[in-house]
Structure 1
Amino acid sequence: MKRIFYMLLLISAAASAQKKTIDSLNNRLKGKLDDTTRIELSLKLAKVYRDTLPDKGMQLMYQTVALASKTNHKDLLVDAYVQIAEAFEDQAIADSLLKYTKKAIDLATTLKDNQNLGRAHNLNGNSYLQARKFDLAQKEYLTALKFYESIKNPLPKGNLMVNFGYLFQQMGNVEKAHEYYDGALKIFKEINNQKAIAQVYNNLGILYGENNQLKKSEAYFNESTKIREHLNNNNQLAYSYLNLGGINVLLKNYDKGRLYNDKALKLFVLLKNNQGIASCYTNSGQIEQETGNYKKSVEAYNQALLLATKIKDMENMENALVSISNTYEKMGDFKTAYRYDNELIKLKDTIYNKGMSKQIAELETKYKTEKKTQEIALLNKQGTIQKLQIKNRNVTIGVVAAALLITVCFGLLFYNRYRLKQAAILQAEVIKQQDIASKSIIDAEERERKRIAGDLHDGVGQLFSAVKMNLGSLLEHVEIKEPTYSQLAEKTMLMVDESCREVRSIAHQMMPNALLKAGLGSAVKDFINKIDSHKLKITVETTGLGERLDNNTEAVLYRVIQECVNNVIKHAGATRLDIQLTREDNEVSVTIEDNGKGFDSAQRDKFEGIGLKNISTRITYLKGTVDISSAPGKGTLVAIYVPLTIS
């Protein structure tokens, strides 16, 4: 039976995302606090945000890391590293997870912080288990257990037993898995940890489901879901809904399966968990296949395959390829089914090669044994020579045929690899050309801004200055007796003066001196200071921008911030706007948040205009990302992340 159940590996306990808790922590953080208290409260608030506003939680964690590093709070810094790794686990981003667990392990080793060493190694084990590297996962779990044995808190040890149980379950050792789950359940009931109890019930549901005891599996999933709904933990609840959807598919309750699968998908999208989203698409594909909607089934499986490939989720990739092949076979399209079978063979390359080597060894052993038998028979019975030669020939033919078959298989694999390599080279060249085109457009825009700014300042600006001087000199030497003409002359003088200021203002906006001389932070503050604060109150906070960034990076980020602020002024109807610029390690993050009327950010095609496309194009040029989160009546949050190139 193909796996359709999924579990969330236990790590450290996360706080429930209740509005009351968020408001309380935010209010405390607004007060005057020492650095230690501020860092501790920020870490608590980041945990709460992980289940509701993951982007905001991640931003807060990065800020906390910067403050802890600056104030040399190493004990809190290692905890922040582990929290960031946990957040990347929620999003199934293995590379970033391993990056921050390494930072945590290095620092925790010097501090002899056994609890965080256990947490970090446990997270590594989870990542390797997801990639089906069972030996590495087991090694990391055993290392985590060594550190957990030295602390008194039984919860981490219980969590680790759950992970061991799932490891043995993946390896096919059901008895050993059940043993570890029972041990973990005993610990959790003794300390009355409902969240952990729900996790064990979830895993037992998976275990019984994989052994075809479907009703018992559904009962355990229901018990787990009830507890998680009460705890209001979106991250774990999403997996419970996903598993209930999967078990109902096996029970052929397709409407009920769709209901739970849709609930899970909404939560995974909210949490930005690509692994969970891919799993939902896999379940959707199976529901559509079972009900005869083959076209929709293939579409869902392909979405699952795309996401699983992006995050290197081997299990979902394997499930999707098998399912797509089966669906095309049911549709009678055997050519396409065969193509996806070949893709599956590539995915299982290591296992396949191992199996082929074993087969060759077996054939060689049979050949040698048969040959020796022939030699003995030849000595004992000369009359059986012809018979032995025939056997020898048959064995040889068998070996040659097997070798030829293996050679053909390897040839197909190498051809597919070559084809994929050429496609990757072509894609890389396309991306390179797109980057060159984007750079040329942005460079041309900046040059044109400089030219226009120079023309305005040195050309039109100088002409207006000369007009103002000549007009002033004329009015000094000409006596105007009529009051009406005298007033007209004064108004004309004021208009010329206002025109001079307007030309200078436009020239400075197109190429601000502050950006050229003092850098991004100063340029943004200078730009904001020119906006009427009575209509829109704007705050700007900068962190880590003591050193100048690359000229292109500063120019692009300044234009993007300028575009965002102008959008708020034109469309949002906001009274408050908060801008944060943070540089941490080798990346820059910008958040722009207003309290305006907002919009439905899920319907991107209805609000994506030229301004937003310009922002996206510029940030893509810097290899960064732009995330926009908004809802009607709840304001808008724009989060920008840009990696910095190390020279």
Structure 2
Amino acid sequence: MAKYVQIFLTVFIVFLLKENVFAVDELQECFNYLNTQNYEQAISEGQKAVKLYPVNHLVYVCLGRAYLSREEFNLAIDNLKQAEKYAISYSDLMYIYNWLGIAYDNKGAVEQALSYYNKSLSLARNLKERDMEAATINNIAEIFHNKGDFEKALSFYKEYLIVISSERYKAFAYNNIALIYAAKGDFKTAIEYLQKSLDIYEKNNDYHAYAHVELNMGNTYRKLKDFDIAQKYLFDGLEKIQQLGDKEWEGTAYKYIGWLHLDQGNKELSKEYFNKALEIFKSIGVQKDIADVSMALSIINAK
């Protein structure tokens, strides 16, 4: 959900770390571990940094994001509210409110999430931060997407496409619009939007994002029962993701491939890939994906 917002927050953090030289060494360790998806170590370094800089909002932002990545939502919210308390500018608050929205959203507290997203959106508009305005609109769209209100979600995604100036971030919206059409069962339209996204990422040499969309493309072709094309996209995406060291999406690739083999009636290969996915998700503590894969394995064993 938060991929797009995280791009902007990463830039925001790097800028503030340069401005707050006294805190760079300790905080940088926390963010370095966070960016390599070593959430446990990020939390450990963040807790050390809190003792050194108890009123620095960036410490709590790092801890909040690390707990959020581990799906420890209450701890994420507690730390992000501390970040809110010690924020020193409206710009700080704009980002922090967005992360609080993400935390509440993932916790399932939709109304609180919308409240914080709207606070972030208001600040973004007042500060004329068009990119963050677009990011927040995207997050609101995803709430309606997850609620199954596809038409409202599409209306927000269209607003997002008007606000955003970067072609690269339009590609992100095309991917999300594709997921809505796939959820509606319109796989051909989904593939058209995914291809738009792939074309932009390829043009901009963004191979990481390209690999994410490629995996979504493969999974969409799987749902269409076009297994040969699905396999091509899934294994190509998996290879790219492994080269990039993105463990969470490597697990997602294994999960999609597990479903592909299950759809083809190959129970043993399906179990093999689901178990690979489960091992990765357990190693990085992504509870929702652990539950998804565990359920898939239960279905196979029941059969």
| Equivalent residue in structure 2 for 1:148, among 150, 164, 180 | 164
The equivalences for 1:358-437 within 5 A come to none
Rate the CA distance shift 1:183–1:288 in 2: closer, same or farther, 3 A.
Answer: same
Alignment partner of 1:130 is 2:123: no
Matched-pair contact (CA < 8 Å) for 2:43–2:63: no
Q: Which residue of 2 aligns with 1:371?
A: none
Cα displacement (A) at 1:273:
3.7
Cα displacement (A) at 1:24:
11
The equivalences for 1:170-569 within 5 A come to 170-268=183-281, 271=285, 273-274=287-288, 276-289=289-302, 292=303
Cα displacement (A) at 1:182:
1.8
Deviation string, structure 1 residues 433-478 (Cα, Å, up to 9, x no partner): xxxxxxxxxxxxxxxxxxxxxxxxxxxxxxxxxxxxxxxxxxxxxx
Matched-pair contact (CA < 8 Å) for 2:174–2:194: yes
Rate the CA distance shift 1:227–1:27 in 2: closer, same or farther, 3 A.
Answer: farther
Deviation string, structure 1 residues 384-404 (Cα, Å, up to 9, x no partner): xxxxxxxxxxxxxxxxxxxxx
Matched-pair contact (CA < 8 Å) for 2:57–2:87: no
Q: Matches of 2:139 and 2:179 in 1, distance apart?
A: 14
Q: Which residue of 2 aligns with 1:104?
A: 120
Matched-pair contact (CA < 8 Å) for 1:10–1:160: no
Rate the CA distance shift 1:230–1:58 in 2: closer, same or farther, 3 A.
Answer: farther
| Equivalent residue in structure 1 for 2:131, among 115, 119, 124 | 115
Rate the CA distance shift 1:65–1:231 in 2: closer, same or farther, 3 A.
Answer: farther
The equivalences for 1:23-34 within 5 A come to 26=46, 29=49
Matched-pair contact (CA < 8 Å) for 1:69–1:77: no
Q: Matches of 1:178 and 1:115 in 2, distance apart?
A: 26
Q: Matches of 2:190 and 2:61 in 1, distance apart?
A: 34
| Equivalent residue in structure 2 for 1:165, among 174, 178, 181 | 178
Larger relative contact order (C-alpha < 8 A, sep ≥ 6)?
Answer: 2
Rate the CA distance shift 1:100–1:20 in 2: closer, same or farther, 3 A.
Answer: closer
Match of 1:119, as an amino acid?
A
Identity in percent: 17
Gaps of 5+ in 1: 1-7, 293-647
Secondary structure at the counterpart of residue 5 of structure 2 = coil
Secondary structure at the counterpart of residue 203 of structure 1 = helix
Q: Which residue of 2 aligns with 1:524?
A: none
Q: Matches of 1:199 and 1:180 in 2, distance apart?
A: 14
Match of 2:92, as an amino acid?
L
Secondary structure at the counterpart of residue 227 of structure 1 = helix
Q: Matches of 2:285 and 2:113 in 1, distance apart?
A: 16
Q: Matches of 1:254 and 1:61 in 2, distance apart?
A: 41
Rate the CA distance shift 1:67–1:128 in 2: closer, same or farther, 3 A.
Answer: closer
Q: Matches of 2:111 and 2:50 in 1, distance apart?
A: 35
Match of 1:123, as an amino acid?
N
Rate the CA distance shift 1:245–1:129 in 2: closer, same or farther, 3 A.
Answer: same
Deviation string, structure 1 residues 211-242 (Cα, Å, up to 9, x no partner): 21113212212222233334444443332222
State the superposition RMSD in angstroms.
3.6
Q: How many residues align?
A: 275
Matched-pair contact (CA < 8 Å) for 2:64–2:79: no
Q: Which residue of 1 aligns with 2:95?
A: 79
Match of 1:12, as an amino acid?
V
Q: Which residue of 1 aligns with 2:29?
A: none
The equivalences for 1:28-107 within 5 A come to 29=49, 38-40=56-58, 42-44=60-62, 46-47=64-65, 50-51=68-69, 53-55=70-72, 59=75, 62-88=78-104, 94-107=110-123
Q: With structure 1 as the length reference, what TM-score do the two structures score?
A: 0.37
Matched-pair contact (CA < 8 Å) for 2:39–2:67: no
Bigger helix share: 2
Q: Matches of 1:232 and 1:168 in 2, distance apart?
A: 30
Cα displacement (A) at 1:54:
4.1
Secondary structure at the counterpart of residue 4 of structure 2 = coil
Matched-pair contact (CA < 8 Å) for 2:187–2:224: no
Q: Matches of 2:293 and 2:40 in 1, distance apart?
A: 31
Deviation string, structure 1 residues 153-179 (Cα, Å, up to 9, x no partner): 443222111111222233344443223
Rate the CA distance shift 1:23–1:48 in 2: closer, same or farther, 3 A.
Answer: closer
Cα displacement (A) at 1:207:
1.9
Cα displacement (A) at 1:247:
0.6
Secondary structure at the counterpart of residue 12 of structure 1 = helix
Match of 2:37, as an amino acid?
A
Match of 2:137, as an amino acid?
H
Cα displacement (A) at 1:93:
5.7
Q: Which residue of 1 aligns with 2:27?
A: none
Alignment partner of 1:11 is 2:27: no
Q: Matches of 1:145 and 1:212 in 2, distance apart?
A: 31
Matched-pair contact (CA < 8 Å) for 1:121–1:140: yes
Rate the CA distance shift 1:105–1:9 in 2: closer, same or farther, 3 A.
Answer: closer
Rate the CA distance shift 1:41–1:227 in 2: closer, same or farther, 3 A.
Answer: farther
Matched-pair contact (CA < 8 Å) for 1:258–1:284: yes
